[in-house]
Structure formats: C-alpha cells, structure tokens
Amino acid sequence: MPATQSAAAPGRLEVVRRFVNTCDIEAGNDTLATPEACLRWLRGQDLLDRSVDTLDRADRDEVVAFRESLRDVLGVHRNGRLGDAVLDRLNATAARVGLAVRFTPSGSWQVHARGDGVHQAVGRLLTIVIGAMADGTWSRMKVCANDACRWAFYDRSKARSRRWCSMRICGNRAKQHAWRSRDGGKTR
Ligand SMILES: [Zn+2]
C-alpha cells in the first residue's frame, strides 16, 4: 500500500475502493490470495450473508477477475473509452449475478442482485457501482496514473484533475522521470 493514504470515497462506494485496493500491485500483496482470506474479507464488508460459509478456488478467482475488471473500468476515467474486452467481462458478470431492477413506492427504482454464494458479494459490489454511476460520484473514482501502481482513489479536487494516488510518491516519481529524460537529452 502506498505510504500516503488516498482520499476515501463517500458512503458505500468506499467499500468498492477498498475492494480494488485489496491488491497492492507494486508490493505484490493480495489480501484475497486464498478462498478463506477472500471469504473473510467479503464477510467483513457485509458483502456476504452468514449463510455463505465457504468459498472454493473458482469463487476466489471470479472475485479477483471482477476486481481487475473494475480496476480497468476505473482506468477509463483517464483514458477515455472502455474496450470491448472489459465491456464483455462486465456485462457477463452482470448477467451471472442476476442483476434486476425493482421499482419503489416513491416511484423510483433500485438495482439488486439475486445471485447466491459468491455471486451475492459480486452483485452487491456491482449494485454499489451502478448507484455511484447514477448519482455522479463514480466519475471521481480513479486509479493511479502510474501503471505499476494503479491504486484506487477518490478524486476530491475541484477540477477533478488528480492523476496519482499520492503526489508525494507516484506524482513525484513521474516528475523525476520526466526531469531525468529531459536532462539526459541535454547532456548527450
Ligand atoms: Zn500510485
């Protein structure tokens, strides 16, 4: 985990941010490395009912694949458009977890997931993402512009222009790199 904590997201969206950050790519640590650890983490975030008391390797792999799809989706906030491969994965996940719309007495709607087992957790995470897309907070969720880092953070800057998880670490690294390239060009 980068030494400086990134800004937390509002409400339940923070659970999604923490989920993406269960893997510290740079350090090579994955909190969801085993089915047991995955179960513990998902339960700890209220993403699985108590009735789900075991996950297998395939469940764990599905959760991790979904996490990396989300990281790709967050990367689009800097890069523009979602590629076909990410879209296909995301749409397949939505179908698998049984996402459905329910209308409410106030004339509004709610998205909910009908899946069992690990699909319950993936469905709840996806529901939070859809809610954030609907209320506008999703556009502030980003991943660090340093490809070796890709840490998820919530951009609270007025101009929505934050690019790095931490200016002190990844931001400065990028600046130093640019400076070194310029300097090298001059002396040669
Ligand atoms: Zn970073």
**126-149 per-position pLDDT tens digit:** 999 999 999 999 999 999 999 899
Q: Is 177 contained in some domain?
A: yes
Q: What is the dihedral of CA 53, 56, 62, 68, to 10 degrees?
A: 90
Q: Is 90 contained in some domain?
A: yes
pLDDT at 49: 92
Q: Is 127 contained in some domain?
A: yes
Domain that holds residue 60: 3-183
Q: Residue 42 is inside which H or E element, if any?
A: helix 35-44
Query: What gap in Å lies between CA 144 and CA 12, rounded to an integer?
Result: 21
Distance from the alpha carbon of residue 95 to the mean position of ligand 1, in angstroms: 32
Instruction: Return the DSSP state at 3.
Output: S
Q: Is 77 contained in some domain?
A: yes
Distance from the alpha carbon of residue 89 to the mean position of ligand 1, in angstroms: 25
pLDDT at position 184 over 60: no
Go through 18-42 and write b for each residue having 16 or more CB atoms within 10 A of its CB, e for each that does not: bbbbbbebbeeeebbeebeebbebb
Distance from the alpha carbon of residue 155 to the mean position of ligand 1, in angstroms: 13
Total domains present in the chain: 1
**71-106 per-position pLDDT tens digit:** 999 988 665 788 899 899 999 999 999 999 999 999
22: domain CATH number is 1.10.3300
* Residues in the 5 Å CB sphere of ion ligand 1: 144, 146, 149, 151, 165, 170
pLDDT at 65: 96
Using an 8 Å Cβ cutoff, are 63 and 69 in contact?
A: no
pLDDT grade for 171, boundaries at 50, 70 and 90: confident
For residue 141, the tally of other CB atoms under 10 A from its CB is 22
Average pLDDT over the chain reads: 88
Distance from the alpha carbon of residue 68 to the mean position of ligand 1, in angstroms: 16
Q: Is 188 contained in some domain?
A: no
Distance from the alpha carbon of residue 149 to the mean position of ligand 1, in angstroms: 5
Q: Is 36 contained in some domain?
A: yes
* SS3 annotation, 99-112: EEEEECCCCCEEEE
Using an 8 Å Cβ cutoff, are 156 and 140 in contact?
A: yes
Distance from the alpha carbon of residue 145 to the mean position of ligand 1, in angstroms: 7
